[in-house]
Every structure is written in C-alpha cells, then in structure tokens.
Amino acid sequence: MFKKMNTAIKMAGIAYEKNEVPIGAAIFKNNVLIAKAHNECVSRNNSLAHAEILAIQKAIKKLNSSYLDECEIYVTIEPCLMCMGAIINARISKLVYGAYESKTGFADSKVNIKNIYNCNNLQIYPGICEEQCARLMSDFFKLLRNK
C-alpha cells in the first residue's frame, strides 16, 4: 500500500509546485498503475478538476470502459462529496487515502459514507502515510497565509 501511496504523494508534490492544493491520486488495476493525476482547479480554472476526478477520467479512457471494477484509487487526502460520488459511480473497489479532511471529508470525517449509502463493494483504508500527506497540506496553506 505504501509504495502505491507514494505515487499519489508525488502527484500531490507536483500540485504543490504549481500552486495547486496539493492533492494527488493514483489508480491501479492488478497492481499496475493505469492513471495518476493532481489537482488542477487553478490552472484549468475549473472547480471540478480534483485529482480523483482527473485520475478516474484518465483510467476510464485507458481501459476503454465506463467502469473501473477491480481498480484501487490512492488519494493523499480524504475525498470530498463530489469525489466520493465519482469513486462510487465508477465502481472502484478500493479507496486508500492518507490524511483525514475534517472540513470536507466524505469517507469518514464529515460523513461516514458507509452509514448513508450502501457501497458494499468499496473497501476503504484511511490513514496510509497520513503524516506525510497532512504535512503537504499544512505546509501549502501556511505558505499561502505568509504571502
């Protein structure tokens, strides 16, 4: 899990360097990386350009499939409502995320998705490389406040 999460962390680092909120995502199928992305909301001038959404779009295109059955998504920060909806609708089997997001997290923090929606096929693994993922976010917003 840690090696796969490192791919998402590298993508978050790229977002950080581009002054985007440092969130990265990576999608694997059968232990093979099929898509990766980072937040691009600022550069695309599009509030929907979250790392998870972009990675899902790339994976769907690569697999030439409407769904991502048996795929795993690794994300540095707990997904928001929009991204959780996309993960569920894409039929991703496993969500692994780094840091909890107390303000907008929709897997466990703000709302525990399994308590309100029957997503039996989705396994959720929180807190993988949590400290490293959280530090990227806190450093980014500290830098913004100091500008």
CA–CA separation, 32 and 19 (whole Å): 29
For this structure, is 52 an active site residue?
yes
Backbone angles phi, psi at 134, to 5 degrees: -65, -40
Region for 132 from its dihedrals, namely left if φ exceeds 0, alpha if ψ lies in -120 to 50, beta otherwise: alpha
Tell me which of 20, 52, 78, 101 is the catalytic residue: 52
CA–CA separation, 40 and 46 (whole Å): 8
Catalytic residue set: 52
